[in-house]
Amino acid sequence: MSTSAAEAKSDLAAQIPSCSHKQTLLEEADVNSEATCPALCDDLLAKIFARTMRRSSIRSQLRLKRVSRLAHNVVGREMGKKDELLVEILDPTEYRIIGLRKEKLPRPEQNIIVQGSLVHTMDEALKLVKEAVGAMRTLKTLRLYSRENDSEQGNFTSVIQELLGKGNVQLETVKFRRKRVGTGATDSIVRLVEENADSLHSLGQLGLSEAIQCFAGKPMALERLSLNEFDGGFDADQESICERMIQLMSTGITATHLSYSSLQGFDPTDEVVQRFLTSFECESLRLTMMKGPYVPSLPDYMIGKVRHVQKLEMVEVVEKTNIFNTLITYEKMLHKVFPNVEDVNFLQDWRR
């Protein structure tokens, strides 16, 4: 037998236990030791449970807790470390495919994702929300996305109500994304903001009327705030929008970064708009619009200027990406209104 063959046989014998070969991988004392082996196994299992839990959905995590007492303790500890809740209310399923046929369901089936788990009823979704929030030491981030079309937005409101009055809910970041703004969810949103007013740093996608009610209680200083005028409807006139801006200014709200979305265009040369932007004392501004504003003929200088803003982004909403951004035609005017902005970033958004 060659030397290499002998070495291969020796290596194979060391890896595969055999009656004719004495086991040398573990000492007999180590195998029989009740003090070492259980602790070693528990540590290894704890790592496996923790890694599995971090990669699993909330429903899988709850099932994993029932495996053993060790799994229950490890999963509970890891769930307590989480501080973010993500709920997505998707479009309902109206049809089902059977073979090659497409049949309409007698009643649309709901699709709701809670922490990665898909459920089909609101009761199941709220149960998972309650389990997730109840296990957290502190809930700091809420991301609630909804594609509900009805004006009441019952599912969206139900999730928010599940978080009201909870001692461990101390939200720092709230991000909403909705098809409809300024509907039946307003009262719940106002209560949520009021309860977390001392801890909130970032608040996303509020309608103007919602923001007026949220900040009416006391002045707030946020790091990021996202507003839109969609709650005024598609036929909202500029005068009514300006009235809401004036009401919002009276609340004393400020934000380091302000994002504002509009349908008809956002005219930064308007006196009310300039007062609105100045009152926020924002250093960074992002303006998103369906089409550019109508700007009347102007002299070579601007009487009003917004001097706090140092960074400006202009976002055009398009059906599909386009080489030419129509908002770039306003660049000269924008530099006059925002004298401390060196470069204006022109972007496009085609995902809406």
| The pair of three-digit structure tokens given for residue 86, joined into one six-digit string | 């993500």
* C-alpha–C-alpha distance, residues 170 and 310, integer Å: 31
- Give the residue from 13, 69, 9, 19 showing the smallest Cα distance to 45: 69
Kindly state the helix (H) or strand (E) to which residue 114 belongs, with its residue range. Answer: strand 112-114
69: in domain: yes
52: in domain: yes
* C-alpha–C-alpha distance, residues 192 and 108, integer Å: 30
| The pair of three-digit structure tokens given for residue 23, joined into one six-digit string | 């086991």
* C-alpha–C-alpha distance, residues 4 and 296, integer Å: 89
287, 306 in Cβ contact below 8 A? no
The 10 Å CB-count burial string (b at 16+, else e) for 127-161 is bbbebbbebbeebbebebbbbbeeeebebbbbbbe
305: in domain: no
- Give the residue from 232, 342, 348, 236 showing the smallest Cα distance to 290: 348
267: in domain: no
- Whose tokens are 């900040």? That residue is 215
350, 321 in Cβ contact below 8 A? yes
Write down the pLDDT at residue 222. 96
- Whose tokens are 């970032």? That residue is 202
54: in domain: yes
**Sequence-distant (≥ 6) Cβ neighbours of residue 47 within 8 angstroms:** none
* C-alpha–C-alpha distance, residues 260 and 286, integer Å: 6
83, 140 in Cβ contact below 8 A? yes
- 56: helix, coil or strand? coil
196, 171 in Cβ contact below 8 A? yes
Give me the number of domains the chain comprises: 1
Per-residue confidence of the chain (352 residues) as pLDDT tens digits?
Answer: 555 555 555 554 544 455 554 444 444 454 444 455 555 577 888 888 888 888 889 999 999 888 888 888 998 999 999 999 999 999 999 888 888 888 888 898 999 999 999 999 999 999 999 999 999 999 999 999 999 887 778 899 999 999 999 999 999 999 999 887 766 788 999 999 999 999 999 999 898 989 999 999 788 999 999 998 877 655 567 788 889 999 999 999 999 999 999 877 788 888 899 999 999 999 999 999 887 777 766 655 566 789 999 999 999 988 887 788 889 888 988 998 999 999 999 998 886 5
- 284: helix, coil or strand? strand
HSE-CB for 133 with a 13 A CA cutoff:
27
57, 32 in Cβ contact below 8 A? no
CA distances from 203 to 86, 190, 321 (A): 15, 12, 28
The DSSP bridge pattern shows strands 84-89 and 112-114 to be antiparallel
Q: Rounded to two decimals, what is the model's pTM?
A: 0.81
201: in domain: no
Which range of residues forms the domain containing residue 58? 35-81
Write down the pLDDT at residue 26. 41
238-249 vs 271-280: helix crossing angle, rounded to 10: 30
Sign of the dihedral through C-alpha 156, 114, 131, 108: positive
104: in domain: no
157-134-51 Cα angle (round to 5): 115
Put residue 252 in one of left, alpha, beta given phi > 0 → left and psi -120 to 50 → alpha. left
DSSP letter (8 states) at residue 26:
S
- Whose tokens are 């059977």? That residue is 98
| The pair of three-digit structure tokens given for residue 250, joined into one six-digit string | 């009276």
Amino acid at 301: Y
* C-alpha–C-alpha distance, residues 276 and 337, integer Å: 13
DSSP letter (8 states) at residue 23:
-
- Give the residue from 89, 14, 16, 78 showing the smallest Cα distance to 46: 78
221: in domain: no
